[in-house]
A and B are shown apart, each in its own frame.
Chain A
Amino acid sequence: MTLIDLYSILPAATLIVWALFLLLANFWFSKRQPVWTPILAGAGLLASLVVSIFFTGKPMAGFGGFILVDGFSNFLTPLFAVTGIFAIGLAYDYLRRMGIQRGEYYTLLLFSISGMMLMASAGDLIIVFLALELLSIPLYVLSGFAHPRVDSQESALKYFLLGTFASGFFLFGTSLVFGAARTTNLTDILAIVSSGEADTMLLLIGSALMLAGFGFKIAAVPFHSWTPDVYQGAPSPVAAFMSVGAKAAGFAALIRVFSMIFPSLAAELTPIFWALAALTMVVGNVVAIAQTNLKRMLAYSSIAHAGYLLMAFVPFGDAVTRSNSVASALFYLTVYALASLGAWAVLIGMEGEDNQGTEISDLAGLGKTSPLSAAAMTVFMLSFTGIPLTLGFWGKFYLFRTAIEGGFVTLAVIGLITSLASAFYYLRVVVKMYFQEGQPEFHWNFWTSSVAIFTALALVVFSFMPGSLFDLALRSMLTGS
């Protein structure tokens, strides 16, 4: 193992080491000062964030190509770290209120994040597979974290069984790709695939199977059905984390893997991605309209946004659009992450014992009783919708631009029309909060509220100067593309 190897996994390694340390420290703190566990976990993530920003700036390959450090991973790794920090901010008060305050939560969270980081820089299908499991297994557990609660258990079971089912697909797909390309190293696959030596049919079937696996992780229709149930049953901070972290990681892997396979099979795969994206946008947005529970609504919203993200990837086959394709996906992902975490933060503030307070109608009157939260929630909803002066607009702007640049005007129009439909249910939240009377109970907590306010501010402030973020995303080039 060389120093470069170490550098290449430093953020993830930091987290894993820190998690191990935290596991031990937790024995000490859990009884006496449980607040220290999340703080330490946060510190670990902060360390990882710092490391990810300062130590892995240059593109490189570690562990003989297992790890690829490039603009892409450099963009996503800090994103995961930040998501983790927010997830911890969301968790502490919630766990305390629900009486499930256990230090393992944070340890598992850190492990999961490390899995995500590895996923973002995976250079080999085996790393993809292992990272997928490393991020998933803690999430299975975290979903069932409130486990005497039946819905938490149900959520965990559904997530676990379906997740493993999807893993099975992915694994079988991987084996076929291995069979076609003789290797599992992504860079080598690219070389072999573009040289035309690989068997296209095997490769295609393998890709299809892998796509099903990733589709599950990113909650693309028709691999999405677990999402609402799991989000609803799982403890809210976990759902928040999943809606952002797991999705981002899934996309990271999807992009990584398909960036190798896609270009040479663009003709075959593009229509599939097209259909998946369209279907996901339509189903996600349409079904969200019928939701009455805020958690489920956010779940469907997350499905819908997966559709938008997929749309960004559709034109990847076009060499000219490629860099924009990835950049706009990443940009959108960031925007989505901010809004989603914020929205969940407000939801967590609303949630009481036994899922009380999570119906959309429970929000009635929030504008009066908790104006700041309501304002923040409004920003998130507007950002989800893609209304200007929130970053969500620029997300969609870049996204649709990419789709149109790739010549997928129809897809862009579907996206635009579905985002109109989305306004319908996002607005309902605003309507409830401001236009209807009620006395909602809002559990104000410094950390939770900080997450909400920080994300809301970020969404608004950066909407005035999205240029630098665009640049950042554009620089997130993938190795090999």
Chain B
Amino acid sequence: MIPIAYPLVLAVILFCMGIVGFLLRKNAIVIFMCLELMFNAANLVFITFANHYQVIDGQVFVVFVMTVAAAEVAVGLALMVTIFRTKQSIDIDQMNSLKG
């Protein structure tokens, strides 16, 4: 069996990679994927602690997270499609007309 700290550390690494990816990339879809990575990292923590405490709640939480993630993907991708229609691009750096 592995020390529970390990998956947690992995989760933190993935989380941080998600964050850094969000900050580095300009492609909206890739950014969105980075967000999924962050969610995934959280899920890993839930599962790890569910295992550690031997309670089901952690797993249930993950189920809901996945559901929500799916919902967000639906909305997010729809948004990107409509944006692509207008701007012919999903480069988020081009979406900076509102500022100040």
Contacts and interface: CB of A to CB of B under 8 A. Distances in A.
Contact of A171 (B39, B48, B52, B75): B39
Interface in B21-76: 22, 28, 31-32, 35, 38-39, 41-43, 45-46, 48-49, 52-53, 55, 57-58, 60-61, 64-65, 68, 71-72, 75-76
Contacts, number: 125
Contact of A179 (B49, B65, B80, B98): B49
Nearest to B48: A179
A151 B97 CA distance: 7
Contact of B45 (A155, A176, A183): A176
B64 A178 contact: no
Contact of A161 (B18, B19, B32, B98): B32
Contacts of B65: 129, 171
Contact of B86 (A150, A229, A290): A150
Contacts of A293: 100
A377 to B, nearest CB: 22
Interface string B89-100: 000100111111
Q: Which of B41, B49, B52, B55 has the most chain A CB atoms inside 10 A of its CB? A: B49
Given A148-B86, A164-B76, A130 B39 contact: no
Interface stretch (A139-147, A391-399, A438-446): A139-147
A182 interface: yes
B42 A160 contact: no
A160 B95 contact: no
Interface string A164-206: 1101110110111011001110000000000000000000000
A233 B45 contact: no
B72 to A, nearest CB: 6
Contacts of B32: 161, 164
A151 B98 contact: yes
Contacts of A178: 45-46, 49, 57-58, 61
A229 B83 contact: no
Interface residues of B, number: 46
Contact of B83 (A157, A172, A290): A157
B98 A168 contact: no
Given A160-B79, A172-B42, A175-B49, A154 B95 contact: yes
B86 A130 contact: no
A161 B72 CA distance: 10
A165 B25 CA distance: 14
Nearest to A290: B100
Q: Which of A129, A157, A293 has the most chain B CB atoms inside 10 A of its CB? A: A157
Given A133-B72, A182-B53, A140 B46 contact: no
B6 to A, nearest CB: 14
Contacts of A228: 98, 100
Q: Which of B28, B46, B71, B92 has the most chain A CB atoms inside 10 A of its CB? A: B46
A140 B61 contact: no
Nearest to A206: B45
Contact of A154 (B11, B41, B97): B97
A140 B95 CA distance: 16
A119 to B, nearest CB: 14
A165 B97 contact: no
Given A175-B11, A178-B45, 8 more contacts: A140-B75, A140-B79, A150-B87, A164-B72, A165-B22, A168-B15, A175-B49, A179-B48
Interface of B: 8, 11, 15, 18-19, 22, 28, 31-32, 35, 38-39, 41-43, 45-46, 48-49, 52-53, 55, 57-58, 60-61, 64-65, 68, 71-72, 75-76, 79-80, 82-83, 86-87, 92, 95-100
> Top 3 nearest A-B pairs by Cβ distance?
A168-B38, A175-B45, A229-B98
